[in-house]
Structure 1
Amino acid sequence: MNTADVHTLLGPYVLDAVDDIERAAFDRHLRECDACRADVSELREASARLADGAWSVPPPGLRDNVLAAIGSVRQIAPISPAPAPAPATAPARSSRRLRLVSAAAAVVVAAAGAATAAYTLQDHRVRVEQARAEAAQAAESRVRALLASPDLVVKEEPVTGGGRVTVATSKLHDAGVIMLAADAAPSDGRVFQLWTIRSAVPIPEGTLAPGQTAAVQIVEGMGQASDVGVSVEPPGGSKTPTTPLAADVKL
């Protein structure tokens, strides 16, 4: 992997969205690149700043902190899709061909298959990275609009076990941003799950991964929500929140 390629792994590396080979390549690159080490350090520190201080009105640094956290903290989806089965690798396919056909034919078939697989894999990787970049840009634009709203309201509550959950809402945009910064992950492999309470009905707004302690989640339709809750659930989350809640922010 050349220097230009490895620089594109900065965002996915901080988001823990790289495979083992990419992580090893970027770790080697970090030992030689002062600029990338500084960028990684700043992005990782952004989420920690979410837990600093306590305010009753929106602080001047809220906008910058949230925008920084969008790039440094893994965002979560309301519904966690089942993981797609991992595709067979080109070497495995080539190995099967070598066992099934003659040596002369295998050279031709394996070469063609490897070229096709390499192209498909690279094309998929480019599309995934492009989708991530577009999603990050859209999220940043949405957060900018929310935090610039004249009716922005910020509320926060402590999380059981340490840390804070902060909720910034705008009725004009009918949306909000939930920012969780816990001091530690739940024990026994359990996870944090975010909720909004709408008409006394809990709505799941995203489940963190095992070991994950921080998240930034944009939620639409916050005008109908009366509370934002954080619960501790089994891996993958639950259909209804386990009580008592780890945090409950009254909106």
Structure 2
Amino acid sequence: MNAELHTLTGAYALHALSDDEREEFERHLGDCEACTQEVRELTATAARLGLAVSVTPPPEMKAAALRRISTVRQEPPVAPAPARPVAARFRGRRMARFALAACMAVTAGSAGVAVWQHQSADDAQQQARAAQQQSEQLAGVLAAPDAKATTGQLAGGASGTLVVAHSKNQAVFVASSMPKPPSGKVYQLWFNDAGTMRSAGLMDPSQTTEAVLLSGPVDKASGMGITVEPSGGSPAPTSAPLALMNFATA
């Protein structure tokens, strides 16, 4: 298997590959669970980093960029060597993309070395497609013009940011430094519908930093809560909420 493909996880998570590169890398994901997991983690990290830059650019930025286009000299094209192998096509970008992936992993504090269990290629491809679809929805919420964020401190020194975009009827929760739940337990998220809690999905118990697209529509919910539930989740909360956060209104 082409070892160069293992260095493209960061670029894939940021949609920075060409169509041909993306197709080849997605075929690689079908055989590599390690890259599938790393893409999932880097995608969540990219969404979390997006919160730091999710501001509306000033109107004069476009005009300034157009002015600078006419003053920056474009480098001449370089003719590719004939019959250049796939590995060579990727080599020029390898170090920059590897550095990007490494920086993202350090920032998130969640990417590391793991022991991977073999899965079928079809299963891995399904996971990759599901992760990509979720990342696109998550990024859409964060980039929505009406996205509003609420940030607060949680128990155990953790912090959380709740982002809602009513135009998409969706919300995202980003947790940082979350303590791992007790063995056999999981953090479950809930929409707060006028005091009635509606399940909004589970957090990954192995992650301390995670961006989660809440399951289901926001509708008339005023915020969300977090409880500790048995592995697999519960149809209704079985414990007092660890935190309650309201959606920002302005």
**Aligned pair 1:197/2:192, yes or no?**
yes
Partner of 2:64: none
**Aligned pair 1:45/2:106, yes or no?**
yes
**TM-score, structure 1 as length reference:** 0.53
SS of aligned partner of 2:156: coil
Tell me how far apart the structure 2 counterparts of residues 137 and 206 of structure 1 sit (CA, whole Å): 18
Task: After TM superposition, give the deviation of residue 39 of structure 1 in Å.
Answer: 5.5
Task: After TM superposition, give the deviation of residue 184 of structure 1 in Å.
Answer: 1.8
The answer to whether the Cα contact below 8 Å between 2:162 and 2:245 also exists between their aligned partners in 1 is: yes
**Aligned pair 1:146/2:146, yes or no?**
no
1:1-251 alignment runs, 5 A limit: 1-3=1-3, 8=28, 9=32, 11-14=35-38, 38=99, 41-48=102-109, 124-125=120-121, 127-219=122-214, 220-251=216-247
Letter paired with 1:133: A
Q: 1:242–1:161: structure 2 CA closer, same or farther, 3 Å change rule?
A: farther
**TM-score, structure 2 as length reference:** 0.53
Instruction: Calculate the aligned-residue CA RMSD, in Å.
Output: 3.5
Q: Gaps spanning 5+ residues in structure 2: where?
A: 8-27, 42-93, 112-116
C-alpha offsets along residues 107-160 of structure 1, whole Å, 9 cap, x if unaligned?
Answer: xxxxxxxxxxxxxx8xx40x3333333333323332333222222110122221
% same residue: 24
The answer to whether the Cα contact below 8 Å between 1:165 and 1:247 also exists between their aligned partners in 2 is: no
Task: After TM superposition, give the deviation of residue 249 of structure 1 in Å.
Answer: 0.5
List structure 1 runs of 4+ shifted beyond 6 angstroms: 33-37
Q: Who wins on radius of gyration, i.e. which is larger?
A: 1
Q: Across the two proteins, how many residue pairs are aligned to each other?
A: 165
Tell me how far apart the structure 2 counterparts of residues 202 and 163 of structure 1 sit (CA, whole Å): 22
Q: 1:137–1:236: structure 2 CA closer, same or farther, 3 Å change rule?
A: closer
Task: After TM superposition, give the deviation of residue 234 of structure 1 in Å.
Answer: 2.5
